[in-house]
Chain A
Amino acid sequence: MKADPKRVLTGSHFLNGNHSATEGALAAGCTFAAGYPITPSTEIVERIASRFPQVGGVFIQMEDEIASSICLQGGVWAGHKSMTVTSGPGLSLMMEHIGLAAITETPCVLIDVQRTGPSTGLPTKTGQADMMQARWGSHGDYEIIALAPSSPQDCFDFTIDCFNLAEEYRTPVFLMSDESTGHMLEKVVIPEADKIDIVERKYYTGSEPYLPYKEEANGIPLMSKAGMGHYYHITGLTHDERGYPVLTQPVQKQMMKRLMGKVNDNVDKLTRVERINLDDADVAIVSYGISYRIALKAMEMAREKGVKAGILRLITCWPFPEKVVEELAKNFKSLVMVEQNFGQMYYEMDRVSNKHCNTFLCGSAGGDVHDPEEICNTILEAAK
């Protein structure tokens, strides 16, 4: 399925990351958004509020992030592709509803424009310390998918990818952006609508009674929506394929196996990485989001100093690309994680490196992007 030309702002633009994400959402076919103002994400919903009435869409500013994160799910079940937008403190408030979306298999997109934490922190400054929260913040076991953009162009492209992944896997999908990327102005090329592939929601159209959680061949149940006459029941309680709560261990095991398997069995398909100069490198940097771009500079600086560094850029942060990183760990003496926190994806990298190599962290307290000199020093340290 191709994008609707009326919703695609085809052309070459000078846009910030937040506005690009909005255009990505529109192009992807998002027609419902619920949000609450929080720096540094507000430009996204401001643009949505202005664009939706022009291209078709409902935006509602709710009374808080808790309301936003469940209102959007009502929008999904009404039949829309839905999203919300927030930053760290708002994401913290959304945790319960992330779990609800996971267990009810409500496809939706959450954009987190990360800022410095913890707590109120530095609201107008950048950070990458929500990575673990996005993955583990809600209670219980569940899987999510998360992509990390590094530029306004990525914000456009990856937002479309997020919507497509949400529909394909019937799961909440995160765009882990950050203040630097969100507020940075860069060239964004938006192609013709017929060059943009979008994944449509797959509805059950059979004549038998609808079973909302009946596993199809690919492990993902077919969706329904309000008014189709399916009279389904959707609940946050453990449920069987009828959607009815059945509060027993066997049903829990069955349900969890399928829920976790949706993502866990598809890690290879979901993995998206980029390899920069790894072929002749001695030290591999692993990075994502805005930190990846600073790492590019540090890589050059290290090479000038005689240390051959290369980068594995993570586009998919969750599920963590375990196989790719482990392979890297087997072929390199040292891996250096560069991220704007005290170590979050670092621990994933360290875990899968499995003692094949040394692991280093070039972290930060957040608030500004790394000084490339700092990263370069860590690379040099790692090369010893």
Chain B
Amino acid sequence: MAEKKSKKKDPKEWGLEIDAEKCKGCGFCVEFCPKAVLEMSGDFNAKGYHPPKIVDIDACTYCDMCEMVCPEFAIWETSEKHDKKAHIADEFIRMDRMPHIWCPGCGIGTVVNCLVKAMQDAGLDRNNTQIVSGIGCTGRVAGYVDVDSYHTTHGRAIPFATGLALGNPDLNVIVVSGDGDLTAIGGNHFFHAARRNVNLTVICVNNFNYGMTGGQVAPTTPEGAIAVTTPYGAYDKPFNIPFIADSCGAVYVARWTTYHVRHLQNSIKAAIQKDGFSLVEAISPCPTLYGRRNRLGDGLDSMKFYKEISKRAKKEHTTADADIAFQEEILVGKFVDRERAPLHEAMDASFKAKLGDKYAGWPVPG
């Protein structure tokens, strides 16, 4: 699963820009810069965070790692020659709603960043792109992405998205929601949409708890982890999300952490381009709740930890191997990539076969 190396950029044509006021001081960019271009500064922005500063621009290879990993869209590469003035999210994010509500060090912003890049790379028709979210921190994604977007009810993004996908099969319907939303209250819908292979891309941001409501236990909370409704430690076995998606019949299943920005982008792009039910799980830090309750440090500490303990799935691995135990190895990679007719195609083919001339065809929305 070697990555294609991006074309090396000519440093003379590129620059780096930081919007200090957008920064929440998470430190991801400094940590993940491969060339030590950045350091956290001693300055304060208006919100009291320390933004990064450029200390060695000559070392910068414009690999766009910082731009991709920043959850606040606050640092980006610029180039007059290549007509790039703003962060790539600028075009696809409702910038009039920034800053978003996610905590400093939360990985959801990073996932959105990867989603936006994937949407661009996939060459999606923006008009046909639809984002559907449930409720929760990740549920707020729909509100920030500048396409037709829907912030629905807890657990029910998938059936709403099914209505869109069946109502107009030309739409690119992307569901972005959290682990609790998709596998607890939304579990039933998740299973059936995967079983039926509804043409959806589902991005599940897994931060091992219910963040928005204060850090309660979720079906993904590892055994022994502290959550506010299991203050003595979680006692039940957590879901292995790739395994569920796989066993229910999803045609594409991948898992990455928010550290793996390039892989996440590529997987999201592949999922978008794939016909049928595609799931990408993105393991994310939750520094304010899950992280704090379990003394895991801040968002950056979680990200560094992911970098250390993520293990790339090999050919012999299946989704059954993807269980996650508390602070132990996280198996990442693409697990499933297979072919199966998506639901609307199966329905259409069935009607054609049975009704012949009498079939009125798939209804074009009025």
B153 touches A80 (CB 8 A): no
Task: Name the contact of A97 in the complex, choosing from B142, B153, B192 (C-beta under 8 A).
Answer: B153
Q: A73–B97 Cα gap in the complex (Å)?
A: 26
Question: Inside 8 A of A228's CB, which chain B residues have their CB?
Answer: 127
B363 touches A72 (CB 8 A): no
State whether the Cβ of B44 lies closer than 8 Å to any Cβ in chain A. no
State whether the Cβ of A260 lies closer than 8 Å to any Cβ in chain B. no
A245 touches B164 (CB 8 A): no
A-to-B contact residues, CB < 8 Å: 6, 29, 31-32, 34, 53-58, 60, 62-64, 66-68, 70-82, 96-97, 100, 200-201, 224-237, 244-245
B148 touches A80 (CB 8 A): no
List residues of B (153-179) whose CB comes within 8 Å of A's CBs: 153, 156, 159-168, 170-171
Per CB-CB distance, the 5 closest pairs between chain A and chain B, nearest first, are: A74-B163, A78-B167, A79-B365, A235-B151, A67-B159
CB contact under 8 A between A60 and B151, given known A78-B171, A235-B142 = no
B361 touches A100 (CB 8 A): no
Q: Would you mind naming 24 contact pairs between A and B with Cβ atoms under 8 Å apart?
A: A54-B355, A57-B360, A57-B363, A60-B166, A62-B162, A63-B188, A63-B191, A67-B156, A68-B159, A70-B153, A70-B156, A71-B160, A74-B165, A77-B167, A78-B365, A80-B167, A80-B365, A81-B366, A100-B152, A224-B148, A226-B168, A231-B147, A233-B142, A234-B149
Question: Inside 8 A of A75's CB, which chain B residues have their CB?
Answer: 163-164, 166-167
CB contact under 8 A between A72 and B148, given known A31-B363, A54-B358, A79-B365 = no
Q: A206–B321 Cα gap in the complex (Å)?
A: 54
A74 touches B360 (CB 8 A): no
B152 touches A55 (CB 8 A): no
B-to-A contact residues, CB < 8 Å: 94, 97, 126-128, 130, 132, 142-143, 146-153, 156, 159-168, 170-171, 188-189, 191-192, 347, 351, 355, 358-363, 365-366
Q: A74–B163 Cα gap in the complex (Å)?
A: 4
A244 touches B360 (CB 8 A): no
Give chain B nearest CB distance to A83 CB in angstroms.
12
Q: A227–B364 Cα gap in the complex (Å)?
A: 12
Q: Is the interface of A mostly helix, strand, loop or mixed?
A: mixed
B153 touches A74 (CB 8 A): no
Give chain A nearest CB distance to B183 CB in angstroms.
15
Residue of A nearest to B154 (CB): A96
B189 touches A233 (CB 8 A): no
Residue of B nearest to A72 (CB): B163
A226 touches B149 (CB 8 A): no
B355 touches A63 (CB 8 A): no
Q: A174–B245 Cα gap in the complex (Å)?
A: 36
Residue of B nearest to A225 (CB): B365
Question: Inside 8 A of B163's CB, which chain A residues have their CB?
Answer: 32, 34, 70-78, 82
Task: Name the contact of A56 in the complex, choosing from B152, B156, B361 (C-beta under 8 A).
Answer: B361
A234 touches B366 (CB 8 A): no
Question: Inside 8 A of A230's CB, which chain B residues have their CB?
Answer: 148
B148 touches A96 (CB 8 A): no
Task: Name the contact of A236 in the complex, choosing from B97, B151, B159, B191 (C-beta under 8 A).
Answer: B151
Question: Inside 8 A of A236's CB, which chain B residues have their CB?
Answer: 151-153
Question: Inside 8 A of B150's CB, which chain A residues have their CB?
Answer: 74, 77, 233-235
A80 touches B151 (CB 8 A): no
B156 touches A66 (CB 8 A): yes
A74 touches B127 (CB 8 A): no
A97 touches B156 (CB 8 A): yes
Q: A232–B149 Cα gap in the complex (Å)?
A: 6
Give chain B nearest CB distance to A64 CB in angstroms.
7
Question: Inside 8 A of A58's CB, which chain B residues have their CB?
Answer: 166-167, 347, 362-363
Q: A82–B132 Cα gap in the complex (Å)?
A: 19
